[in-house]
Chains A and B, each alone.
Chain A
């Protein structure tokens, strides 16, 4: 029983654990542990693959879990490619601008639609929500962006993302939770509605705004379909995910012609692909531990009534 005393025990457990309960605890600890491992361990194999040299691959019949003579050739190749840096630049740029564009309309509109006595509130809300349920699809959007001269331009990543209807609903839900007397006290001070929103509403919304911004950032970091559909001709503005995707699907390993032959011999085609995957996922993994609680909070607020 020594072990059990150490562990913090919830839910009134002055009563000893039954044998059944102990067995159950052991089972769920193992099951949850296995799921946890399954979520992370595959990435370590990917790391191993990216570091394996071609020589070792052949020597061990193409089955290496932990390379004995790791090589950085795949990463050297990746970093010596101009496409790779362009992709990174575009992705970083769109991520930062994307955070802003996801909030600039969403937050004020969500706040305004939470005002109870606003005339015509419900029809306006319906107007926004309808777009969540029905849309024209890819082809008319393509034609619209063509007419707006957005095709094959960087702004095709940003312009459509101003519409964040789910975000509007989350903000609205949050503002409705703010006590009304707080808002009314501002009325007594003679603040205008705009001042009220800017100085009272938005500061109170800070956690929600942060969560929405983070989700937008992740979405932009991971995005590549918009490049595939709406910017197929302009390779200069392809985001890193799309470049890695093309690398994955290509039979050959060359991204462009700048690959030095000597290091090409050392790495494996698979290793090169895996290096790309890891470089694209690393920033997410680095930021995640610090931002996890905001993500979960954002999901919570979205799911409570949403």
Chain B
């Protein structure tokens, strides 16, 4: 490795050499400023202001922390936080194991043709929009759907799954797993393909059964990735799938389904409560940032890999 000697004028020369490329970078920087940083700056500003309908951001009077206090003084707002946490923690817990088990099962399949075929198939739901997935759920769980068809055939009475508060969370988590389980195996599979095959041969010669093999070779190979994705999912605990919930929720379900995102859209934007809405968004954003950065730091220490 050669060390670049930093002579005076070195940077100047480099700047000149790359000047055209800097023009391209500048365009991107301006674009990012307008579309990413302006909303951020405005968001901070509006969250400290009382913006009335029709007034501009500049005209609106400053109100200090009023919009932030609203969140903590209002029971219905704390319900949003509770719902958000319940949904994201549940999806973390239930969604954690299935892709790991599926990866091990697919990886250990003897027939490479069958393996390829199954992999191709289980990736497909990842490419479906939530509109499509809700459509499939509708086919199975609506009044005239598959499940109610069976219930009626067995002499039971129809169940309104799609408007039931009890069924909401299982449906949400279930469809999340259905959509992502196959695609998530790619990350784990990548870790397994780098394993030295000699390790497997050695395990075989030692007479190790499948369970011992998983414990001694397969699982240790997956562990850094498992640790990584577990820690990173902790960082995203305030994030819920806005798109999915917008599809699955309805006014009968607000009690359990209303989360920060949906409230900001429905009340903050829809009823023009810009101050409350942006304050709520900002708080989520800042707490989320802190969680993400600490998760990343921990992950880098523990598993040697991070997102950034």
Interface residue A137 (Cβ < 8 Å from any Cβ of B): yes
B135-A273 in contact (CB<8A) = yes
B80 to nearest A CB, angstroms?
Answer: 14
Interface residue B285 (Cβ < 8 Å from any Cβ of A): yes
Which of A12, A124, A138 is within 8 Å of B281, CB to CB? A138
Give the interface residue-count category, chain B. Answer: 35 or more
Within 8 A of A (CB), among B71-114: 102, 104-106, 108-114
Interface residue B307 (Cβ < 8 Å from any Cβ of A): yes
Which of B109, B200, B285 is within 8 Å of A12, CB to CB? B200
| Residue on B nearest A18 in the bound complex, by CB | B209
A35-B32 in contact (CB<8A) = no
Majority DSSP secondary structure for residues of B touching A: helix
A228-B246 in contact (CB<8A) = yes
Interface residue A96 (Cβ < 8 Å from any Cβ of B): no
Interface residue B53 (Cβ < 8 Å from any Cβ of A): no
Interface residue B48 (Cβ < 8 Å from any Cβ of A): no
B186-A270 in contact (CB<8A) = no
B135-A139 in contact (CB<8A) = no
A165 to nearest B CB, angstroms?
Answer: 8
Chain A residues within 8 Å of B110, by CB: 4, 7-10, 25
Interface residue B164 (Cβ < 8 Å from any Cβ of A): no
Query: What sequence of 0s and 1s flags, for each residue 117-150 of chain A, a beta carbon within 8 Å of any chain B beta carbon?
Result: 1110000100111011111111111111000000
B209-A21 in contact (CB<8A) = yes
Majority DSSP secondary structure for residues of A touching B: helix
B20-A194 in contact (CB<8A) = yes
Interface residue A85 (Cβ < 8 Å from any Cβ of B): no
Chain A residues within 8 Å of B136, by CB: 42-43, 46, 277
Complex Cα spacing A132 to B286, Å: 12
Which of A9, A143, A245 is within 8 Å of B42, CB to CB? A143
A296-B186 in contact (CB<8A) = yes
Query: What sequence of 0s and 1s flags, for each residue 144-170 of chain B, a beta carbon within 8 Å of any chain A beta carbon?
Result: 111011101100000000000000000
Given known contacts A12-B204, A193-B21, is B108 in contact with A289 (CB within 8 Å)?
A: no
Interface residue A13 (Cβ < 8 Å from any Cβ of B): yes
A48 to nearest B CB, angstroms?
Answer: 9
